[in-house]
Every structure is written in C-alpha cells, then in structure tokens.
Amino acid sequence: MKILFRNKDINSIKADVQIVFLEKKPSIKKLVGENDLETLEESGFFKDATDTFYVSSSKKLYLKLKEFEAEEIKVAAAKACSALKNFNFKSAKIEGYSDVELFCRAFAEGAILGSYSFDWYKSEKKESQLKSIHIASLLGRKSGVSEKSINEALEAASLVAENVNFVRDIVNSAPDDATPMQVASIAEKIAKDGGFECKVYDEKFLKSEEMGAFLSVARASAHPPRLVHMSYKPKGGKQPTKKIALIGKGLTYDSGGLSLKPSDYMVTMKADKAGACAVIGIMKSISKLNLNVEVHGVLGLCENMIGGNAYKPDDILRAKNKKTIEIRNTDAEGRLVLADVLCYIQDYFKKAGQQFDYIIDMATLTGACVVALGEYTSGVFGHNEKLKKMILSAAEDAGDLMAPLPFNKHLRKLIKSEVADISNCSSSRYGGAITAAMFLDEFIYDENKQKWAHLDIAGPAYVEKAWDYNPHGASGAPVRTIVEFIKKCEGK
C-alpha cells in the first residue's frame, strides 16, 4: 500500500473513498456535511454505539477519535484500513490536520501496522484491494513545510512500520519454518540486501569459544544452534556518532526442556525468538535509513528441547566468562544463551581494542514481567538511569509501552548458589523479572555496567488478541523504540 502526501485541497484529489477523522467534542456534528449528518445520527454514530461508519451516498468513512494526538491517529488509521478491507476500493484520501508532518507519520504507521494479517498457513487468503492513500492538506504549504520533506518523513515512518510487519512474520512463523539455521539465513539475506556484514557461526565455533551455557541449552535439539553477528557501519567511511550493540534472544522453540512446560504454556513458544527477530528488523531499518551509527546485532539462536542428552536440573554449566551456573530449572534457558552472547560481544570489542557506547539486550525472558506490567508493556532494567530514561523517551515517541523495574539488592541473594557461582533460577516465586535481569548483570563486565540495558519484552512480543493497531500474535516490539533510540543517538 502506497501512502503519499499532497500540498493540495482535499477536494482536488480523486479517490474511491474519503476517510474522515472527527475529534470527539461538543461541536462534532458541525464538522459533518449536511448530506451525511442525518445518516450518522440515525446510525448512533454520535453516541457510543460505534466509532466507525461508512456513508455510501457520499463515499465517506467516518471515524471518531478522542484528540488529534499521534497514538490516537495511529489507532484510527488502523481501524480505517481494517474497515476498508470489506470494500473493493483501490484508493482513498484523507485530509491532514494540525501538525501535518506528525499526522502523516502517525497515519502511515497506523495504516501499515493495522493492515497487517498473518495468513501464510491459510488455504484461503483475503487481501485488501486498497492500494493507495493520499493525505492532502494546504496546511503544509501555509506553514512553509515542503511536500518533499513531509513525504520523506512519511516514507521513513512507513519503512520502519513495514519492517515491524516483517518481524511479525518471522515471529509468527511455525517452529519448523523458523529453525536456528533458517532464521540465520534470513539475517544473512537482510545483511546482503542492506550492504552490511553478517557472520554466522556454528556449534563448532561455540565450542571453541567455550560457550558452555549456550551449547547446553541447544544440545537436545535436532536443529543445531547458530550465533549470528550482523555489523552495520555508516556508508562512505563516515565516522559513526555512536557504537551500539544489540543482543537478541532467539529461542526458535522452547519446550521448557526437562522442566517441561504444561501443554497450554507450550503453545505460542515459537514467539520465544522475538528478541532476535526484532534485532534483524532493527538492522534492516537502520541500513535503509542510512543512519550514521555503527550497530552490531548479535543473535543467539537455538531450540530448548528434551532428549537423552538434554541438560538437566543439578547440572553445573560453565559460561564463556568462566562463571559456573547451577541449573535448577531448564525452563530458565534464555538467560543462559544471553549470558554467553553478552560475553561474546564484549570480548569482540575488547579483542579489537575498541569501545562501544551502549549494549542493549532484548528478550522474551520472564512471565514474571508480564505479571508485573501486564501483557502490553516491556520492562526496562539497568544501572544507568540516564540510559533507561533515553530508552523510555524513545518508547514514548515511538508508541511502545515500556516501564522501568528497579534492581533491588535484597533480591540478588535469591540467585545465590551453594555449589556454583550463581543459580539460573530464583529460589523465590517473587521478583522473577528482576532476578532474571540480575542474572544477566553477572555477565556484564564491570567496565560496561553503565552502558548496558535489558529489555524484557515477554508481555507485548506476542499477545493472543488484537490490541490498538496490533493484531493477534506478534507485535514486532521493540523495533520502533530501538530505531528511535538509535536515531536520537545519531544526533548526539
């Protein structure tokens, strides 16, 4: 679907249907033409009966929104595109309001995200006939903002939204269609298309790097693990403003291992790769946006399965940084993979004699985070308050819901082990999201503590009901937030 802005009067644009946004306020009826007013009143549109109504005589689709604010515009745009799927219209138009550039960005994002549906495995597919939407307004011309600059901003917003949908596709893919090797191949293709480097390492490399925690999680699967290192650098030999490392948890399927999940909880565990998929989408976005930053995306890809050679509760594993880990629950596996991957990227920079500015890991790590914050909100952890605030600010601008959870020194004793350096599972049912983050903190080197942030995306990464402009299934979180964060870093 193509979305374009025109510095023209709405009436000069030809389209099959017009979308009309109406702000809920006492004067709402005055904003409707006389020809449609009676029809809308009869339908109950001005009451709470409905927020969307199509008037066939004028070929106008009316939608109510609380105010002309970015998130409201996104949701309304998603509702409009969803409603228009039921018609055969090929083109639509809408008038831009208030801050035209903000309106265009928000509308494009909401329309693209809201139009998403995952039908790969459906025998019958229902595709929208809508191919183009024109946003028209004379406000851009009056404010001195060029049509070109608004379209550039609109195009950038559309690109990120399309990559969110791309990530949704990978996360939603069935486990047998998204094995560690298959996801690694996707990352390689994205890197090739984007003109940046991607290296894929197999189990022999993991063994040579003494990544015992990662290897133990993977060893019972028929699909071998892969470590993927994507490296984007500014084109033309430019000096990057920042160097950032992104780490993604990529459990392409998680059965729980020998600490087997109940069957109801095992469904949707294809989504345990959401962190790694998000990193791929972020790398794809920044390469297309040609940002002046250096970004390393590292994915830990494997399956956590059962078998005669599965790792077991009571095992003692040795991570890349030589720390020993007592296994008390094999379903606390993502942190084991991340532990070795976090060590890998820190050692990579150390061996190269280089410094990085930030290291951010993202993972569907704990159900405890969902208990704490609900299904729609990601948890943000770390030692650096300024870094956490930067991420939260980027999330607010991008439209993702995030909230900080504090480290509490009294909880650290819950991951203490009597027989190893640390336990992979808390000895208490409380504070599980925090103790999981504290476990990861054990694998962040002292000199990098202030550079690190952990995002627990277990809540919003995959939700089995539609919400706002997010469909059933994968949401693509936190692609928009991290792209926004990197854009802000570029300007500093």
**Domain chopping of the chain, boundaries:** 2-142, 161-490
What are the tens digits of pLDDT across the range 119-178? 999 998 888 899 999 999 987 666 678 899 999 999 999 999 999 999 999 999 999 999
Does the pLDDT value for residue 21 go beyond 90?
yes
H or E segment and range at residue 296: strand 294-304
Residue 141 has a pLDDT of 66
Q: Determine contact, residues 110/73, Cβ cutoff 8 Å.
A: yes
Residue 29 has a pLDDT of 84
Q: Determine contact, residues 319/340, Cβ cutoff 8 Å.
A: yes
Topology (CATH) of 161-490: Aminopeptidase (3.40.630)
Q: Determine contact, residues 135/5, Cβ cutoff 8 Å.
A: yes
Mark whether 261 is an active-site residue: yes
The amino acid that residue 418 corresponds to is E
Which range has the worst mean pLDDT, 64-68, 246-250, 423-427, 431-435? 64-68
Q: Could you tell me where the beta strands, DSSP code E, fall in 217-323? A: 226-232, 243-254, 294-304, 316-318
Q: How far is CA 438 from CA 173, 225, 339, 424, in A?
A: 31, 25, 11, 10
What are the tens digits of pLDDT across the range 392-442? 999 999 999 999 999 999 999 999 999 999 999 999 999 999 999 999 999
Residue range 270-280: average pLDDT?
A: 98
User: Beta strand 378-382 with 462-463: parallel, antiparallel or unpaired?
Assistant: unpaired
Do you find a cis peptide bond into 478, omega within 30 degrees of 0? yes
Residue range 441-465: average pLDDT?
A: 98
> Which residue among the candidates 8, 261, 288, 488 is catalytic per the annotation?
261
Nearest CA to 135 out of 288, 18, 234 is that of 18
> Which residue among the candidates 79, 335, 480, 487 is catalytic per the annotation?
335
Residue 423 has a pLDDT of 98
Which range has the worst mean pLDDT, 95-99, 257-261, 363-367, 406-410? 95-99
User: Beta strand 324-326 with 316-318: parallel, antiparallel or unpaired?
Assistant: antiparallel
What are the tens digits of pLDDT across the range 314-352? 999 999 999 999 999 999 999 999 999 999 999 999 999
Residue 140 has a pLDDT of 64
Mark whether 6 is an active-site residue: no
Does the pLDDT value for residue 202 go beyond 60?
yes
Across the beta sheet with 316-318, the strand order is: 316-318, 324-326, 422-423
Residue 26 has a pLDDT of 77
Please give the model's pTM, rounded to 2 decimal places.
0.97
Across the beta sheet with 226-232, the strand order is: 197-201, 226-232, 294-304, 243-254, 358-363, 452-456, 378-382, 402-404
CATH number, span 2-142: 3.40.220.10
Q: Determine contact, residues 235/286, Cβ cutoff 8 Å.
A: no
